[in-house]
């Protein structure tokens, strides 16, 4: 069988010899030149691999377009489809598409690894809107998308760098209803001068032209006699089958070949990452019964292979035509299932089968169960119609059971209402009416996250003439995803409620029954929280209907999103009505749903300095267009050399054990595995060295004794990446634990056993004053308070990767995605026993680092080089996301105990901190963490300050530097202490902060090495400015007013500061001028998305431009910054600590000065002869005069290399007391950037760091099992922020303080410090919880101090709900009933 499809207009074929299990992403990246789609997760959870799939309907002569996840889509299933990747939109040579140019121009790409996927999600949305022809004809330059739709186009795509705001702005620039002046900083216009004519032009029809050759083949194929299809069954040796009838399907499975997989869209492989190989696939999508849609007066029957997106369209259309409110609400809820690029291919039937067979926590099963749906299944020759409830209760389906269709009944009685709000509002008697609502509580509002619990409720209600209340006549209460086998009906609760007037007492009784019904299975995380959600949702559904709570229709529409005075905007103040705060309780919104904006208008204030042009101009990031168009080459985009092999790590799953043997699974003989590389394969001249820092080496491979779960034991080498990954996952490692002690798996256990690493004394900061004296001065004291902080995973979009190519004369060329190629070179040389000059390491760009591509990149590159050296063939490794998450470690977990003394006015007199750091199994850079923590903690004047620090050695994977290592924790603990003091004094924490902010004198005492004058110390003025610009005091009063009137929502507002020390490192720079006058620049710093190349390019143009005093020669476009090469620029050092960009710039500036000194005499001589001299003329003459046109400088920072960064942030949040959901309403930041080298780059760093901090403080739950093995190991279980979880209003000002003449052109660092400001969100959440705990139904939570409580980091939904009371609904209902 031949599969024919197109990629970017080119024809491709697959035949039976090709791997039927190969995904479209595998095919694109290995068999075409189109490497734009990237492998980010392999689970359909990140969007880096998104492409557009186009389908041609020959009968209607219509083309439809949809975004799809290429990492899940099987290439063999693309017969007669057209695929468009980002390269298919345009390129830098032939012309970029407006999508590329606008994303680049809005500064919406940093590391760029996610950008091609962003481009294709947006492009598919544009093409889809155009294809549907919906909405009015757009204005020129715009599309048919609304702003809200444009934002949602990228709602399923992850980005770890930008903070999303500029991406959303780029998307909204295409929207027909956008006000361009509302969009943020860009390279197209200045504020107040926006016009569509200044944007790269967009025209309808510019995306996704379906190839004519493919149309012709499709039309031709329709005329082929269908009877020939039986031949497909006869070809039993075929690896891919497309049966065209149910009968054909059963003939195929009757052959009973093992290794058969039945698929529709294959999206289940993103949920269940199978380490399996199948030799036969059966694709169900050509069976007519599975694609048909039948409608009648009773309802709609939808074929099981219909995509979820198409089901949504069908239900919306039917709901509108028949005024069926249930259909509309089901469609609304389905839009929160997965993400658009999954829904576009995932089938309705596949979702239900996973729920039935695999215990998948399906939302769809729950909502269809409540809607009274049924299914049609075929079991061999028998066709059955059963209710969905019966289907879910059946034994798990196998291939002999085929789900054919799903029937969803209509509910359209004349008196139907979207809610109980229309029931008896005026007191009139009404006929029986319907209520239908769906609910979900999930880490992300717009989907791309499995729910903690989902539910859907259907009720028929009638008015009780005697009591005036409402009676439930018929009820279906469905719950799912809470740690249960499948969605269930809460029949005991239904029995409790049916036939009785709805009242508070009845509802309380029902809640008690429900708690006994919704019992998650043992081991389910957050079990009590999930049970409380069930109660909360039932309360949200029925409480508005309780007797005496039916308000006039004008005041509230029960269970609906829109309430009086809010216009559907959750930011508007709620009505005083007691029930209004129930309106948004995570029930899926209807009506206005698609028109709700994710983000409000945001402000970016930057001051552009023209002192050192072109330095200081907010130019586009170098390479942004290449990143968008897929032309930028990352390590895994480099074409595989001939005879290339692939490696995958085998790692320990035990924390402390003897490794007796490692064997490959013998059942996988068909995998073309070559060997397993272990410690035995290290050359005798080399050593078992996986990484090395100034604190010592660590081993490459564990064994014979493994030290942690996640320690590498060996590398499987195979002919393909997929084979290597499967073989590694299926490897059998035999362990034994005889004679071994129990592993150390907590800080407490490490302390008990005195399991510590030494901290060099020179790294420990000075203590201040005498703690005991400070405590004597205090009016109040707090002793031994405790804060615990968890880890955080890097989640760079590009996982750890390397390509090693053996070269002549025992040499090795290694392409490594590393923040420190020089360290990679040293480590490989040490491991292989070679001189460093035999090892050449090249790094062009890195797809995100955040510290994780520093020391932790070394073992990957070293293992790859070892395999290549041993086998004398090229080897490449690209860790799958799970392996990366398990092996790479992350931020240091900590336990902090503090004692503090303070005056009654809030002035702190003494602080002592005991710091315990979990370093994992090796030192890495852990000895610097106490220093970093203490330096960050010293942002306030603590009076007398002392500390003790211990670095704990444990049997966890090694912790390493992550953006702001130690400093994030230190800065946060400072805020936690301030909050504790404020709580003890019953005063506003902001007043305590102001009382203890440094004076210039105390700053000099706490940071003696960073001398700062009054002009340079900008923090006090930043605080005053932010308080004024953010209307802090007025908003605080508004928050307090809101909290008094709102029962189930509470708000909090908080203000935090940073005074953060950075340290510059020595850095090389090299500038060369070529024959034609073009300029090549090399630096030690690595471009990891932070805009280093951009700033360096600007600096080179400025430095060489000094030859012309009038700045008449613009050299910017003549400069190219090239990749780091360890045999070209030596002493490259580490790209870390936020200062490498400025150090690289200064090295380049000094190299340019050398060049200027060489060229100046020649220029003056030429000027005397001929007047004005051009750059080209000067370089031409310099060549002839034998002037050296290359200069290198090694910049060594002096006293100015260490300085303080200042900033402040105010954040306002709203929490939902029923679900624990936190919405960030607004964040205002002011950050002192000195005189920014590039305001656009620095703004992006500030926003991106802040949002990464939101992840740490609010959403990124890092979970390990009892052996210390990471189980938050993918996009399903680890939730970084998305566009729908950032501040709805996100205002950032870069302060141009301009006083730092000792710095690099007066600039300051921007990469790490703003991350600490995200603590403002956490503190605001704590304040909102404190407001909730004042209410009687949230009080009495057993806290030792009613006013103070420790809020966990991250403050995920279950944590917030627990702090507000898991039983707050029951308590509230009891207060209504009063004492018995």
Burial class from Cβ neighbours inside 10 Å (0-12, 13-18, 19+) for residue 216 reads exposed
Average pLDDT over residues 694-705: 94
Q: Please report which confidence band the pLDDT of residue 672 belongs to, taking 50, 70 and 90 as the band edges.
A: confident
DSSP-derived secondary structure letter, 841: E
Residue 714's H or E segment, with its range, is strand 712-718
Give the mean pLDDT of the chain. 92
pLDDT digits (tens, 9 = 90+) for 1056-1094: 999 999 999 999 999 999 999 999 999 999 999 999 999
Distance in angstroms (rounded) separating the CA atoms of residues 1029 and 1295? 13
What is the rounded CA–CA span in Å between residue 1043 and residue 524? 33
Alpha-carbon radius of gyration of the chain = 32
**Kind plus residue range of the DSSP H or E element containing 736:** strand 732-736
Average pLDDT over residues 652-664: 95
Instruction: Identify whether the C-beta of residue 1323 lies closer than 8 Å to the C-beta of residue 1355.
Output: no
What is the Cα–Cα distance from 1348 to 1335, expressed in whole angstroms? Answer: 15
Is there a contact between 470 and 462 (Cβ–Cβ < 8 Å)? yes
What confidence tens digit (pLDDT) does each residue in 623-634 have? 999 999 999 999
pLDDT of residue 618: 97
Beta-carbon contacts of residue 476 (< 8 Å; ≥ 6 apart): 369, 370, 371, 372, 457, 458, 459, 489, 494
pLDDT for residue 1328: 97
SS (H, E, C) 875-906: EEEECCHHHHHHHCCCCCCEEEEEEEEECCCC
Angle between helices 967-985 and 1319-1333 (to 10 degrees): 30
Handedness of CA 504, 510, 516, 521 (dihedral sign): negative
pLDDT of the residue at 595: 60
Q: From CA 408, how far away is CA 472, in angstroms rounded?
A: 22
> Residue 680: pLDDT above 50?
yes
Strands 705-706 and 299-303: unpaired
The pLDDT of residue 469 is 81
Is 1269 within 8 Å of 709 (Cβ atoms)?
yes
What is the C-alpha to C-alpha distance for residues 215 and 209, in angstroms, rounded to an integer? Answer: 11
Average pLDDT over residues 945-950: 98
Question: What is the mean predicted confidence (pLDDT) over 880-887?
Answer: 98
Which pLDDT value is given to residue 703? 80
Instruction: Point out which residues pair with 717 in neighbouring strands.
Output: 647, 675
State how far the Cα of 814 lies from the Cα of 828, in Å rounded to an integer.
9
1038 Ramachandran zone, left/alpha/beta (phi>0; psi -120 to 50): alpha
From CA 240, how far away is CA 258, in angstroms rounded?
Answer: 14
| pLDDT, tens only, 849-869 | 999 999 999 999 999 999 999
Give pLDDT, residue 234.
47
> How is residue 1063 written in tokens?
């340290």
State the Cα–Cα distance between residues 1189 and 1074, nearest whole angstrom.
8
In Å, what is the CA distance from 614 to each residue of 312, 617, 623, 787?
Answer: 51, 6, 17, 47
Give the range among 73-77, 440-444, 560-564, 1095-1099 with minimum mean pLDDT.
560-564
Backbone angles phi, psi at 1226, to 5 degrees: -160, 140
* Distance from C-alpha of 800 to C-alpha of 877, rounded to nearest angstrom: 8
Q: Using CA atoms, how far apart are residues 1216 and 1222, in angstroms rounded to an integer?
A: 7
pTM of the predicted model, to two decimals? Answer: 0.95
Assess whether pLDDT exceeds 60 at residue 1309.
Answer: yes
Q: Is residue 119 classed exposed, middle or buried when 0-12, 13-18 and 19+ CB atoms within 10 A define those classes? A: buried
| pLDDT, tens digit, 9 for 90 and up, residues 1041-1059 | 999 999 999 999 999 999 9
Average pLDDT over residues 640-651: 97
Among 1044, 1105, 1108, smallest CA distance to 1079 is for: 1105
- Choice among 241-250, 387-396, 1200-1209 with the minimum mean pLDDT: 1200-1209
Q: How far apart are CA 1332 and CA 931, in angstroms?
A: 38
Residue pLDDT, tens place only, 744-779: 999 999 999 999 999 999 999 999 999 999 999 999
Q: How much of the chain is helix, strand and coil, in % rounded to 5?
A: 35, 20, 45
H or E segment to which residue 383 belongs: strand 382-387
For residue 1346, the model assigns a pLDDT of 57
Q: Is 889 left (phi over 0), alpha (psi -120 to 50) or beta?
A: left
CA dist., res. 1016 & res. 1234, Å (int): 9
- State the average pLDDT over residues 1171-1181: 95
pLDDT over 70 at 420, yes or no = no
């Amino acid at each position: 069988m031949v599969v024919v499809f197109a990629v970017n207009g080119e024809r491709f074929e697959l035949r039976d010899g090709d791997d039927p299990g190969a995904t479209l992403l595998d095919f694109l990246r290995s068999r075409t030149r189109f490497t734009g789609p990237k492998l980010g997760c392999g689970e359909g959870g990140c969007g880096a691999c998104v492409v557009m799939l186009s389908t041609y309907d020959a009968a209607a002569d219509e083309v439809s377009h949809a975004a799809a996840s290429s990492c899940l889509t099987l290439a063999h299933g693309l017969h007669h489809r057209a695929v468009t990747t980002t390269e298919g939109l345009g390129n830098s040579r032939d012309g970029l598409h407006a999508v590329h140019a606008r994303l680049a121009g809005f500064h919406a790409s940093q590391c760029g690894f996610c950008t091609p996927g962003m481009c294709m999600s947006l492009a598919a949305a544009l093409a889809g809107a155009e294809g549907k022809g919906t909405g009015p004809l757009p204005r020129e330059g715009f599309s048919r998308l609304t702003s809200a739709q444009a934002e949602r186009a990228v709602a399923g795509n992850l980005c770890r760098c930008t903070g999303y705001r500029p991406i959303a702005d780029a998307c909204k620039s295409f929207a027909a209803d956008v006000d361009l002046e509302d969009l943020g900083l860009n390279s197209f216009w200045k504020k107040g001068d926006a016009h569509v004519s200044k944007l790269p032009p967009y025209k309808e029809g510019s995306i996704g032209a379906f190839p004519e050759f493919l149309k012709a083949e499709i039309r031709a194929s329709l005329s082929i006699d269908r009877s020939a299809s039986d031949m497909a069954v006869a070809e039993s040796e075929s690896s891919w089958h497309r049966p065209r009838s149910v009968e054909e399907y059963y003939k195929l499975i009757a052959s009973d070949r093992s290794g058969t997989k039945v698929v529709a869209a294959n999206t289940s492989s993103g949920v269940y990452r199978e380490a399996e190989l199948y030799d036969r696939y059966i694709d169900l999508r050509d069976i007519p019964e599975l694609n048909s849609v039948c409608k009648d007066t009773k309802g709609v029957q939808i074929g099981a292979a219909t995509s979820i997106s198409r089901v949504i369209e069908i239900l919306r259309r039917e709901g509108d035509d028949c005024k069926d409110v249930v259909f509309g609400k089901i469609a609304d809820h389905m839009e929160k299932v997965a993400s658009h690029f999954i829904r576009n291919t995932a089938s309705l039937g596949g979702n239900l089968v996973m729920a039935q067979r695999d215990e998948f926590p399906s939302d769809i099963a729950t909502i269809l169960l409540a809607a009274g749906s049924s299914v049609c299944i075929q079991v061999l020759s028998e066709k059955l119609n059963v209710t969905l409830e019966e289907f879910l209760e059946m034994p798990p389906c196998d291939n002999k059971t085929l789900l054919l269709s799903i029937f969803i009944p209509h509910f359209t009685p004349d008196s139907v209402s979207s809610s109980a709000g229309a029931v008896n509002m005026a007191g009139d008697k009404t006929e029986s009416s319907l209520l239908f609502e769906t609910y979900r509580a999930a880490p992300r509002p717009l989907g791309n996250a499995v729910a903690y619990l989902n539910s859907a409720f259907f009720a028929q209600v009638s008015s009780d003439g005697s009591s005036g209340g409402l009676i439930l006549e018929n009820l279906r209460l469905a719950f799912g995803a809470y740690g249960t086998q499948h969605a269930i009906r809460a029949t005991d609760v239904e029995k409790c409620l049916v036939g009785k007037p709805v009242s508070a007492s009845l509802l309380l009784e029902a809640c008690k029954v429900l708690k006994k019904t919704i019992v998650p299975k043992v081991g389910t995380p957050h079990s009590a929280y999930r049970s409380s959600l069930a109660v909360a949702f039932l309360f949200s559904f029925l409480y508005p209907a309780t007797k005496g709570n039916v308000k006039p229709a004008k005041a509230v529409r029960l269970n609906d999103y829109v309430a009086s005075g809010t216009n559907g905007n959750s930011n508007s103040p709620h009505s005083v009505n007691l029930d209004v705060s129930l309106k948004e309780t995570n029930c899926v919104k209807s009506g206005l749903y698609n028109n709700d904006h994710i983000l409000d208008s945001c402000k970016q204030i930057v001051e552009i300095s023209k002192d050192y042009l072109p330095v200081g101009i907010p130019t586009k990031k170098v390479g942004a267009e290449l990143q968008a168009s897929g032309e930028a080459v990352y390590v895994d985009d480099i074409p595989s050399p001939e005879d290339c092999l692939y490696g995958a790590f085998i790692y320990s799953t035990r924390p402390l054990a003897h490794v007796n043997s490692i064997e490959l699974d013998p059942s996988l003989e068909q995998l073309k595995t070559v060997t397993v590389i272990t410690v035995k394969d290290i050359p005798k001249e080399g050593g078992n060295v996986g990484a090395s820092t100034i604190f010592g080496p660590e081993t490459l491979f564990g064994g014979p004794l493994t030290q942690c779960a996640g320690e590498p034991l060996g590398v499987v080498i195979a002919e393909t990446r997929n084979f290597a990954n499967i073989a590694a996952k299926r490897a059998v490692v035999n362990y034994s634990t005889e004679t071994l002690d129990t592993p150390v798996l907590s800080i407490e256990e490490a302390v008990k056993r005195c399991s510590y690493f030494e901290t060099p004394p020179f790294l420990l900061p000075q203590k201040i004053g005498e703690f005991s004296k400070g405590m004597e001065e205090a009016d109040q004291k707090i002793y031994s308070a405790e804060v615990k902080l968890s880890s955080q995973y890097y989640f760079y979009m590009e996982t750890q990767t390397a390509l090693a190519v053996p070269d002549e004369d025992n040499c090795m060329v290694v392409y490594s995605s590393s923040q420190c190629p020089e360290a990679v070179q040293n480590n490989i040389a040490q491991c292989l026993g070679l001189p460093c000059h035999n090892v050449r390491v090249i790094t062009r760009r890195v797809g995100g680092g955040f510290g994780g591509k520093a020391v932790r990149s070394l073992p990957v590159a070293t293992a790859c080089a070892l395999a290549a050296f041993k086998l004398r063939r090229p080897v490449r490794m690209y860790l799958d996301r799970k392996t990366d998450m398990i092996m790479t470690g992350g931020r240091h977990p900590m336990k902090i105990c503090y004692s503090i003394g303070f005056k009654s006015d809030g002035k702190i007199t003494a602080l002592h901190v005991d710091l315990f750091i979990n370093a994992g199994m090796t030192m890495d850079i852990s000895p610097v963490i106490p220093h970093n923590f203490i330096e960050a903690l010293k942002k306030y004047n603590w009076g007398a300050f002392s500390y003790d620090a211990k670095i704990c050695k444990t049997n966890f994977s090694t912790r390493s530097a992550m953006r702001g290592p130690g400093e994030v924790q230190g800065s946060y603990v400072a805020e936690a202490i301030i909050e504790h003091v404020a709580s003890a004094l019953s005063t506003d924490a902001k007043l305590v902060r102001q009382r203890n902010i440094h004076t210039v004198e105390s700053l000099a005492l706490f940071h003696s090495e960073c001398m700062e004058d009054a002009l340079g110390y900008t923090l006090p003025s930043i605080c005053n400015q932010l308080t004024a610009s953010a209307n802090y005091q007025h908003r605080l009063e508004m928050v307090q007013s809101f909290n008094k009137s709102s029962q189930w929502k509470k708000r909090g507002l908080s203000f935090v500061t940073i005074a953060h020390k950075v340290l510059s490192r020595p850095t090389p720079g090299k500038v060369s001028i070529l024959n034609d006058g073009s300029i090549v620049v090399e630096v030690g710093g690595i471009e990891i998305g932070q805009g280093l190349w951009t700033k360096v390019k600007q600096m080179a143009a400025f430095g060489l431009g000094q030859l012309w005093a009038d700045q008449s020669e613009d050299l910017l476009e003549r400069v190219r910054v090239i990749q780091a090469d360890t045999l070209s620029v030596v002493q490259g050092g580490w790209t870390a600590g936020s200062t490498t960009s400025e150090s690289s710039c200064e090295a380049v500036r000094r190299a340019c000065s050398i060049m200027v000194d060489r060229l100046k005499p020649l220029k003056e001589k030429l000027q005397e002869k001929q007047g004005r001299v051009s750059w080209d003329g000067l370089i031409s003459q310099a060549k002839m005069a034998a002037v050296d046109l290359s200069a290198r400088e090694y910049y060594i920072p002096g006293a100015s290399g260490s300085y303080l960064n200042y900033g402040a942030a105010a954040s306002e949040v709203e929490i939902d007391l029923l679900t624990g959901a936190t919405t960030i309403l607004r964040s205002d930041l002011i950050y002192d950037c000195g005189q920014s080298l590039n305001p656009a780059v620095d703004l992006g760093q500030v926003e991106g760091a802040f949002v990464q901090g939101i992840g740490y403080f609010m959403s990124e739950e890092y979970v390990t099992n009892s052996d210390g093995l990471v189980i938050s190991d993918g996009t399903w279980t680890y939730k970084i922020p998305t566009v729908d979880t950032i501040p709805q209003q996100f205002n950032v000002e870069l302060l141009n303080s301009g006083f730092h003449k000792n710095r690099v052109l007066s600039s300051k660092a921007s990469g790490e410090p703003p991350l600490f400001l995200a603590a403002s969100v956490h503190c605001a959440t704590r304040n909102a919880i404190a407001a909730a705990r004042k209410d009687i139904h949230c009080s009495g939570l057993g806290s030792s101090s009613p006013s103070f409580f420790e809020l966990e980091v991250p403050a995920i939904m279950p944590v917030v709900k627990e702090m507000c009371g898991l039983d707050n609904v029951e308590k509230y209902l009891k207060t209504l009933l009063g004492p018995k």
